[in-house]
Amino acid sequence: MIKNLTVLLVEDDDVAAESVMRSLKKAAPDIGLIWAENGQIAIDILNHQHPDKVLRAPYLVLLDLNMPVMNGFEFLEAVRNDNKLKNTVIFILSTSNEDNDRSRAYHNNVAGYMVKSAVGPQFAKLASLLNTYRNAVELTN
């Protein structure tokens, strides 16, 4: 079991972000949560350049695709092209169920792709999946 896991939630929709965070806290209260409203803020957090938010290993990223400033695909490209960040574990959580979005995400080595409508309105399935993942895998960041 991974202790002290932190999830970096990259999501521009504050209602969805609050729902995900509430669900994760309920299912796994010991998982830390940091919210970034877009990909650029998330990059700043990952590079320890954000003035307020500090992310410590081990962590994983839960990424929305459709965001302003830096969308999920731009974020994936930036992370995968950065030698310090390229091994970051990233799960996609998107409204898109398009095959081309799913293929493009997996081409960028994501750990999983979840459609928001399929994980339920309260994100309980998502919380359960991340908790199970944490208990089954050893993360090194």
Q: Are 12 and 38 in contact (CB under 8 A)?
A: yes
Ranges of H-type helices in 4-140: 14-27, 39-46, 72-80, 99-107, 116-119, 124-136
Structure tokens at 38: 């877009």
Each residue's pLDDT, cut to its tens digit, for the chain (141 residues) gives 556 789 999 999 998 898 888 888 887 788 889 999 999 999 999 999 999 999 988 899 999 999 999 999 999 999 999 999 999 999 999 988 899 999 999 999 999 898 887 766 556 677 777 777 777 766 554
pLDDT at 141: 47
Q: Under 8 Å CB-to-CB from 59, ≥6 apart: which residues? A: 5, 6, 7, 8, 88, 89, 139, 141
- Superfamily designation of domain 1-80+88-99: Response regulator (3.40.50.2300)
The type of residue at 119 is V
Locate tokens 């877009």: which residue?
38
pLDDT at 2: 58
